[in-house]
Amino acid sequence: MLKFVGIQLKFIFSYLFVLMLLCFYVFHAMPNEDVVMYDEDVSWFLYDQYDYVSASLEASTVDPTVLDIYYFCITEILFGDTGRKIIQLYMLCLLRNAICCLGFLPDEVILLSSSLLGVIAVFLWHSNLVIYSVSSVIIGYCWMRICIWLCPQYLALLTCSYAMVYILFCQFFLLTAEEFNKLSGTLMIIAMKQISLSFAFGISKWTAACHEPLAFLSYMTDVGTVVCGPWLSFERHCEMMKKKHYRCLLNNIRWAVVSGGYAFLFLIYSSCLSWWLFPNRMRTINRWIIAFRDAQSFRTSHYFICFVSQTCALLAGFECHQDTNPLHLVVEPLQCEWPRSLVNLVVSWNRPFHSFLKTHVFQRIKFHGHFVAVFGTFCISALLHGYNFQLSAVLLSLGFYCYSEYILREKLARLFQACIRARSCYCNCTHKRKWFHPLTMVVNLTFTLLGVFHLTYLGMVYDSGSAEEQGYNAMHTISMWREMAFISHWIALATFIIAKLLP
């Protein structure tokens, strides 16, 4: 037993020693600049981006020309610090993939290089905050080993508790509000990986990750997922680490180029074009126009981060299954902008995060009832981002909206025998009124427009203001919704009452 513990400690201290040398080199040889990526989430995603250039354009009293937008916003994004950091991250992911394709390297070297590249990536984005990410991994590994040794039957519960407590401890005691907003996405990804490992303990591959330090560290700090996500299971991580045929590598690079292009297009729209298309003077015409602009700018910034994370996964060696669209690994923007239902929106907003919550939260508590399962899932989603009233209010509202719409449309589908459920019917469904029936089309269109309205209302609280870097307080969220007379909440309440009254 003592010999086994000594071997584990040797691996940990060796890793720490290499990490210290790496940090010493990076601190003295590289510029100390941060990319500001904030973690303000409407549903399930990692970061949000509001570039400082968009704020200056918004505050300008003179309408900028197309050339102004290009020279003072688009070029600043593409060739400035943000674009440089993203390209560096892409290169690190591609380097990891190339290392995995070298068939003569031992597995230990591949695992260690993958982990160290991930630490470098976190440092490039968050500078000295990398120490809190590494601490989360090392303490988490030691905690899981102790739990496996003393009480393996409670491993999942204790690991979940540790992950939540560590995030909250960083938020309230170790980091400033601005620092936590930068790092919370990385902390959340690490927490999700630890939780998924604990729930699947006992399966051979997953058990090996809990016992072998290098496998655990490689999974937690995988360069393709640790900065921007997405969350991947340990099994998919192992697939990424395998040697691949050069055709598969070229195919991944081809899709990564397309995905990376989409990422920058969404960033340009969010940071530059949205403020130009919908200037502040339109508030005098209708304040809902500005609310729509702020909400859509927030959503497109989320699409940017999702496509960056998708590009990283593809460059790092993620293998797409035959039934998976390589451009829809993480997010489906069209399903979010024009949703069939709010349930579809939640699924399409961040597919890996939805898969994680469905597998490890919803499926495990659904025996308590659908209502409890939905709200429990949204509560865990909020906690993974740390404590944030604005985020919690939006998430819990969205959970109530989803539940109300789901129940109402299920009952309406049975009542009218029409394909108007929250989720699309299968081709062989028993409904008499199919997709192209006039009643079906009218009802589905009505709920789609209602979903767009709810998204505008919920997303308007994520405007770009002076307090954004530290996070908005409760009064900001309440005052924004009060200006709109809480109309979306009243509509959701009416939806809930009608759903309960219907047989």
State residue 30's pLDDT score. 41
Q: Which whole-number Å values give the CA distances from 439 to 407, 419, 427, 430, in the listed order?
A: 19, 9, 18, 16
- Is the pLDDT at 52 greater than 50, yes or no? no
DSSP-assigned beta bridge partners for residue 201:
203
* Residue count of the chain: 503
- Is the pLDDT at 180 greater than 80, yes or no? yes
| Contact between residue 465 and residue 477 where contact means Cβ atoms under 8 Å apart | no
- Is the pLDDT at 289 greater than 60, yes or no? yes
- Is the pLDDT at 210 greater than 80, yes or no? no
Domain co-membership, 332 together with 263? yes
Q: How confident is the model at residue 472 (pLDDT cuts 50, 70, 90)?
A: low
- Is the pLDDT at 5 greater than 50, yes or no? no
Q: How does DSSP assign 413-438, residue by residue? A: HHHHTBS-SSSPPPTT---SB-TTSH
Mean pLDDT across the chain: 82
State residue 491's pLDDT score. 96
Domain co-membership, 212 together with 361? no
Domain co-membership, 255 together with 235? no
Chain center to CA of 355 = 12
- Is the pLDDT at 42 greater than 50, yes or no? no
- Is the pLDDT at 33 greater than 70, yes or no? no
Domain co-membership, 199 together with 290? no
Does a structural domain hold residue 181?
A: yes
State residue 241's pLDDT score. 83
Does a structural domain hold residue 73?
A: no
3-state secondary structure 239-259: HHCCCCCHHHHHHHHHHHHHH
Does a structural domain hold residue 41?
A: no
Q: How far apart are CA 181 and CA 404, in angstroms?
A: 31
Q: At what angle do helices 177-199 and 204-211 cross, to 10 degrees?
A: 130
State residue 66's pLDDT score. 79
**Which has the closest alpha carbon to 40: 167, 177, 171, 181?**
181
- Is the pLDDT at 22 greater than 50, yes or no? no
Domain co-membership, 383 together with 431? yes
Q: How confident is the model at residue 369 (pLDDT cuts 50, 70, 90)?
A: confident
Cβ of 263: how many Cβ atoms within 10 Å?
A: 21
- Is the pLDDT at 202 greater than 70, yes or no? no
Which of 242, 274, 292 delimits the end of a domain?
242
DSSP for residue 201: B
What tens digit of pLDDT does each residue of 414-427 get?
999 999 999 888 77
Q: How does DSSP assign 319-346, residue by residue? A: PPPTTS-GGGSS--HHHHHS-S-HHHHH
Does a structural domain hold residue 342?
A: yes
- Is the pLDDT at 51 greater than 60, yes or no? no
pTM: 0.86
Q: Which domain holds residue 388?
A: 247-501
| Contact between residue 82 and residue 51 where contact means Cβ atoms under 8 Å apart | yes
Q: How confident is the model at residue 185 (pLDDT cuts 50, 70, 90)?
A: very high
What tens digit of pLDDT does each residue of 373-408 get?
888 899 999 889 888 888 889 999 999 999 999 999
Domain co-membership, 306 together with 404? yes
* Percentage of the chain exceeding pLDDT 90: 45
Domain co-membership, 325 together with 436? yes
Angle 485-38-131 from CA coordinates, rounded to 5°: 145
State residue 160's pLDDT score. 93
Which of 184, 219, 242 delimits the end of a domain?
242
Q: In this structure, is the dihedral angle defined by the CA atoms of residues 366, 370, 371 and 376, taken in order, positive or negative?
A: positive
For the segment 197-205, the average pLDDT, to the nearest whole number, is 75
Domain co-membership, 178 together with 263? no
Q: How does DSSP assign 95-147, residue by residue? A: HHHHHHH-TTS-HHHHHHHHHHHHHHHHHHHHGGGHHHHHHHHHHHHHHHHHH
Token pair for residue 420?
């108007």
Domain co-membership, 259 together with 219? no
Does a structural domain hold residue 156?
A: yes
Domain co-membership, 209 together with 253? no
What tens digit of pLDDT does each residue of 127-162 get?
899 999 999 999 999 999 999 889 888 888 999 999
Q: How far apart are CA 224 and CA 53, in angstroms?
A: 28
Which of 224, 242, 260 delimits the end of a domain?
242
Does a structural domain hold residue 438?
A: yes
State residue 18's pLDDT score. 41
Does a structural domain hold residue 56?
A: no
241 versus 159: which is more confidently predicted?
159
Angle 218-219-223 from CA coordinates, rounded to 5°: 70
In single-letter form, the type of residue at position 114 comes to: S
Domain co-membership, 204 together with 262? no
Cβ of 449: how many Cβ atoms within 10 Å?
A: 11
DSSP H or E segment with residue 288: helix 287-316
Number of domains in the chain: 2
What tens digit of pLDDT does each residue of 417-456 get?
999 999 888 777 888 888 888 999 999 999 999 999 999 9
Does a structural domain hold residue 86?
A: no
* 3-state SS, residue 264: helix
| Contact between residue 206 and residue 61 where contact means Cβ atoms under 8 Å apart | no
**Which has the closest alpha carbon to 43: 474, 442, 350?**
350
Q: How far apart are CA 231 and CA 187, in angstroms?
A: 12
State residue 29's pLDDT score. 39
Q: Which whole-number Å values give the CA distances from 432 to 406, 422, 424, 503, in the listed order?
A: 20, 17, 15, 19
Domain co-membership, 343 together with 381? yes
| Contact between residue 86 and residue 308 where contact means Cβ atoms under 8 Å apart | yes
Q: Buried b / exposed e across 331-356, counting CB within 10 Å, b at 16+? A: bbbebbbebbbbbbbbbbbbbbbbbb
- Is the pLDDT at 243 greater than 80, yes or no? no
Q: How confident is the model at residue 205 (pLDDT cuts 50, 70, 90)?
A: low
State residue 330's pLDDT score. 93
